Chains A and B, each alone.
Chain A
Amino acid sequence: MSERTDGRGDVSEPSSTAEDGRSAGDPLLRVENLQKSYGDETVLRGIDFDLDRRDVEVIIGPSGSGKSTMLRCVNRLTEFQGGTISLDGESVMAMNENELRRRVGMVFQDINLFAHLTALENVTLGLRKVLDMSKGDAEDKAMSQLERVGLAPQAASYPAELSGGQKQRVGIARALAMDPELLLFDEPTSALDPELVGEVLEVMRDLADGGMTMLVVTHEMGFARRAASSLMFLDEGKIVERGPPEQLFDSPERDRTREFLARLTTISEEA
């Protein structure tokens, strides 16, 4: 936890001015002038930001602002029309998409556990088919990931036998097992009953504390305050404001940011 707090301090300066100020080598993720449209509808209108290793970026914004689309451009689940995204200095467009996705894990809003497989098999499938691990090795590794999210006792359960929160923790274990360099979270708690949100956020906080690089679309402001090294407010396909969470919460530069955060906070306090 103390380590993360230090990390946050480093990022606060350069993040507001985007590119400059970085010292050692390339950022893990660099997004430059990212543009995406579906037909006539423009979703992303030039997004620029860097994400360093061990950083946790929380992305907020109204629905339709392009948050999920941006996330899905990073692992090429969706194609984009303009700009570049680089992972560790290499353009994602130049990479084999399967290799890219092995390196960039994703956790979904609707979880999408493989319905016909047990929790353990959900985690081992990628290990066996993508990394060609033996059954025994894959199971050992999968068990350790399930332990990490506190679900080792449920290894033999099928998704339909798990609660929403447990399912999403398996979803996280499945992504973690591939040893990703970057984890994408697309509203991981939005589909969960309120009382199940906490257990998922706890796992995510542990990951952040452990130094995992994360790009998280969420409106859980408690998580943003505690775990984010940087907060990004996206609206109409553009970054309205980006900075350390305290700065955006306490003294946002833009009125639009203030309004949105005020509404978010009211909603979460009511809930």
Chain B
Amino acid sequence: MVLSSASPLVFDPIAAQALPLEWLPPDWQFVVRNWDYLAGGLGVTIVLTATSILLGFLAGFPMGAIEVYGSGPLKRLVSTVGVVLRAIPIVVILVFMFFVAPIPFPSGEFGMWLPGIGSFDIGLSAFAAATVGLGLRSAAYQAQIFRGALQSVSGGQMEAARSVGMSKLQAIRHVIMPQALRRSIPGFQNEFTIVLKDTSVAFAIGLAELLKRSYDLFVESTTAVLEVILFISILYFIMTFVTNRTLDYLGEYYAIPGGEG
């Protein structure tokens, strides 16, 4: 009874070992006993989502701004890179980053710890390749989100800022960007969800994230495929739900009183 009310995210593996599991069907017992292993994958998925989204934001926001305010070769370069990244399947990007790209990714393992998950190891080279691949692809999509948001702020806002003597950069930073960021939350929510789920594609380059580890499990116990897949689907759902609600809250918190914006 205790078990059924506990959320997987705060599941205590040590307590799980001690609990009698006989009342569960055998394949579910298998899932619970291997929680430790899956939790490590969950940790990798969470960290990879965070690093990819961050890289995507750091590269994507300036890319979007260049597409709106830039000109000449830089603007052409940014929009071409964006088109190319959006045109290539994510598996291909990841395989390219890991096996082909001449980037000296660090090798070895990196130990991490997350609350509710405990400590787990991350394979550095696959993780770095996945971050760069997912991050750059996300940058290309985030650039479009920000481009749309920047363009949706009326030209009059820029003119008003410039006509009190602000430079173009000051106007973007203090007037356009704060409004555009608010408007980009719905699109960003979407992108966040997509990156979160697409971390599973790092399976293709052997990164031990959630899907890779669940694959390891059901290869070992082939009758438990459905249970393992259902279980990690629930985990993906919870992560998606929590991030979406968090961004909803952020959107409400920063909403401009009176409804404009």
Contacts and interface: CB of A to CB of B under 8 A. Distances in A.
Interface of B: 154, 156-157, 159-167, 170, 174-175, 178-179, 182, 256-261
Contacts of A75: 163
Contact of A108 (B156, B166, B257): B156
B156 A112 contact: yes
A57 B160 CA distance: 22
Top 6 nearest A-B pairs (CB, nearest first) are A160-B258, A102-B165, A126-B164, A112-B160, A112-B156, A160-B260
Interface stretch (A113-121, A144-152, A198-206, A228-236): A113-121
Contacts of B165: 98-99, 101-102, 126, 130, 178
A161 B160 contact: no
B163 A101 contact: yes
B166 A126 contact: yes
Given A108-B156, A114-B157, A129-B170, A174 B164 contact: yes
Given A110-B156, A116-B179, A130 B257 contact: no
A116 B163 contact: no
Contacts of B156: 108, 110-112
A158 B256 contact: yes
A116 B164 contact: no
B160 A113 contact: yes
A29 interface: no
Contact of B163 (A106, A129, A159): A106
Contact of A115 (B162, B167, B260): B260
A58 interface: no
Nearest to B156: A112
Contacts of B259: 160
Looking at chain A, what size class is its interface with the partner chain? 20 to 34
A116 B160 contact: no
Contacts of A115: 157, 179, 256, 260-261
A75 B163 CA distance: 8
A158 B157 contact: no
Nearest to B170: A129
A18 interface: no
B166 A98 contact: yes
A116 B174 CA distance: 10
Contacts of B167: 98
Question: Which of B175, B178, B261 is the most central at the interface, judged by chain A CB atoms within 10 Å of its CB?
Answer: B175
| Max chain A C-beta neighbours (<10 A), residue from B165, B179, B258, B260 | B165
A184 to B, nearest CB: 8
Contacts of A261: none
A161 B258 contact: yes
Contacts of A116: 175, 178-179, 182, 256, 261
A130 B256 contact: no
A105 interface: yes
Contact of B174 (A99, A102, A129): A129
A1 interface: no
14 contacts: A75-B163, A99-B165, A101-B164, A106-B163, A110-B156, A111-B156, A112-B157, A115-B256, A116-B178, A116-B261, A126-B165, A126-B166, A130-B165, A160-B260
Contacts of B170: 129-130
A126 to B, nearest CB: 4
A106 B166 CA distance: 13
Q: Interface centre among A115, A125, A178, by most B CB within 10 Å?
A: A115
A114 B258 contact: no
Contacts of A178: 164-165
A53 B22 CA distance: 93
A77 interface: yes
A175 interface: yes
Nearest to A121: B174
Contacts of B174: 125, 129
A211 to B, nearest CB: 21
